Amino acid sequence: MAKRDFYEVLGLAKNASEDEIKKAYRKLAMKYHPDRNPDNKEAEEQFKEVKEAYEMLTNPEKREAYDRYGHAGVDPNMGGGGFGGGAGGFGDAFGDIFGDIFGGGGRRGGGGGPQVYRGADLRYNLEITLEQAAHGYDTTIRVPAWDKCDTCNGSGAKPGTSPVTCTTCAGHGQVRMQQGFFSIQQTCPKCHGTGKIIPEPCPSCSGAGRIKRNKTLEVKIPAGIDNGMRIRSSGNGEPGTNGGPPGDLYVEIHIKQHAVFQREGDDLHCEMPISFAKAALGGEIEVPTLSGKVSFTVPEGTQSGKTFRLKGKGVKGVRSGYPGDLFCHVAVETPVKLTEKQKDLLREFERATTEGGAKHSPQSKGWMDKVKDFFE
């Protein structure tokens, strides 16, 4: 599921003070601590979530990155964020996936007034089958969405009270600090750039001004998508702060293991057991592909381990538009549970090939020659 907002995890407003973060953390950490919840997986997960939120939000640099870019700013797995993520690691289905992490969002430049923050990006892990990945797949997912809180009408303040202008920054959201000759503008540490302080938070939304609900989203997965690729759904992340733009939602594709095929890029591989007689005599075999069976002729004298390439029977590349190939790895099967009659036939066969000499088994002959050289 999508990663939850750190403030939401701790039940705090975006402008929570460091003290409030510490208090909320202590309370929740006590509640979900593994010592108090032995063998409770859910509590353990919640404990980890709370701990991560606390660690991120009490580190001023990370908190600022998170406020500006959301999870993309602090989660190295999200790529492209403010914290050494880099866009590597994930393939991007449409090339521009990381394009607007920095564009459009972020802080409103220049003068006074509260700061505008882009909402956090969210990630949704979607598991699909190899067939769905190869042929394309339309589905729907349930994702978090936020509505304005009815109780406080979005202000975050308890009804009957209202947010007050921050006295530290006089509502500008920024403060000037004198450092030597330089005057540096910084995010107000008291209100964290919102310009407002909520003395009594709304009980329905804990001061966030909005309530989380779920919504259904249609996802069109293009044919040929590969494991780890992500599809961006623009604007479906968390809402921004102070009128900032919302973050994006990233649907990350996880392809389930297939019973027959292994995928490597746009190529497919499969193992094909064939009988000892078929391998020796050659003949038609049926080969499975993602679009049904095809027949294929193996030549006389096919050895175990031989690979046949079926051109164009792989997966059509999501970017190239060209199909990969299917590689069939032949495994010659030694017959088992033979009847006396079948054994007699094989003994007769063995005598006949021995009489015929080494030409019937060049591999064995080559091997015997090496062994002889080795002992001489």
Q: Which is nearer to Zn ion, 74 or 191 (CB)?
A: 191
Q: What backbone torsions phi and psi does residue 153 show, to the nearest 5 degrees?
A: 55, 35
Maximum separation of any 2 CA atoms in the chain, in Å: 105
Is 152 one of the binding residues for Zn ion (CB under 5 A)?
Answer: yes
Dihedral sign, Cα of residue 173, residue 182, residue 110, residue 146: negative
3-state SS string for 242-255: CCCCCCCEEEEEEE
Q: Which is nearer to Zn ion, 150 or 264 (CB)?
A: 150
Chosen residue from 2, 74, 166, 225 binding Zn ion by CB under 5 A: 166
Q: Where are the alpha helices (DSSP H) in the chain?
A: 6-10, 18-32, 41-57, 60-69, 71-74, 130-135, 276-281, 340-356, 362-375
Is 168 one of the binding residues for Zn ion (CB under 5 A)?
Answer: yes
**Rounded Cα–Cα distance for residues 228 and 127 (Å):** 10
Binding pattern to Zn ion, positions 108-147, x when CB under 5 A?
A: ----------------------------------------
**Rounded Cα–Cα distance for residues 125 and 228 (Å):** 9
Size of the site for Zn ion (CB under 5 A): 12
Judged by CB under 5 A, the chain residues 253 through 282 that form the site for Zn ion are none
Question: Is 166 annotated as a binding-site member?
Answer: yes
Using alpha carbons, select from 154, 350, 361, 343 the residue that is nearest to residue 243.
154
CB of 138 to Zn ion, least distance (A): 36
CA of residue 319 relative to chain centroid, distance = 19
Question: Is 328 annotated as a binding-site member?
Answer: no
Question: Is 188 annotated as a binding-site member?
Answer: yes
CB of 57 to Zn ion, least distance (A): 17
CB of 212 to Zn ion, least distance (A): 12
CB of 13 to Zn ion, least distance (A): 10
Is 16 one of the binding residues for Zn ion (CB under 5 A)?
Answer: no
Is 169 one of the binding residues for Zn ion (CB under 5 A)?
Answer: yes
Q: Which is nearer to Zn ion, 166 or 225 (CB)?
A: 166
Whose tokens are 């590597």? That residue is 88
Query: Counting beta carbons within 10 angstroms of the beta carbon of residue 22, is it exposed (0 to 12), middle (13 to 18) or buried (19 or more)?
Result: middle
Using alpha carbons, select from 250, 205, 211 the residue that is nearest to residue 96.
250
Q: Which is nearer to Zn ion, 89 or 203 (CB)?
A: 203
CB of 2 to Zn ion, least distance (A): 22
Judged by CB under 5 A, the chain residues 174 through 213 that form the site for Zn ion are 188, 190-191, 202, 204-205
**Rounded Cα–Cα distance for residues 320 and 265 (Å):** 11
CB of 16 to Zn ion, least distance (A): 13
Chosen residue from 149, 225, 255, 279 binding Zn ion by CB under 5 A: 149
Query: Bridge-partner residues for 272, per DSSP?
Result: 330
By three-state DSSP, how is residue 279 classified?
Answer: helix
Q: Which is nearer to Zn ion, 190 or 258 (CB)?
A: 190
How many residues make up the chain in this entry? Answer: 376
By CB under 5 A, which span of 166-174, 232-240, 294-302, 365-373 interacts with Zn ion? 166-174
Residues 6+ away with beta carbon under 8 Å from 110: none
CB of 35 to Zn ion, least distance (A): 34
Is 22 one of the binding residues for Zn ion (CB under 5 A)?
Answer: no
Q: Which is nearer to Zn ion, 9 or 205 (CB)?
A: 205
User: Which residues participate in the annotated binding site?
Assistant: 149, 152, 166, 169, 188, 191, 202, 205
Residues that bind Zn ion (CB under 5 A): 149, 151-152, 166, 168-169, 188, 190-191, 202, 204-205
User: Which residues participate in the annotated binding site for Zn(2+)?
Assistant: 149, 152, 166, 169, 188, 191, 202, 205
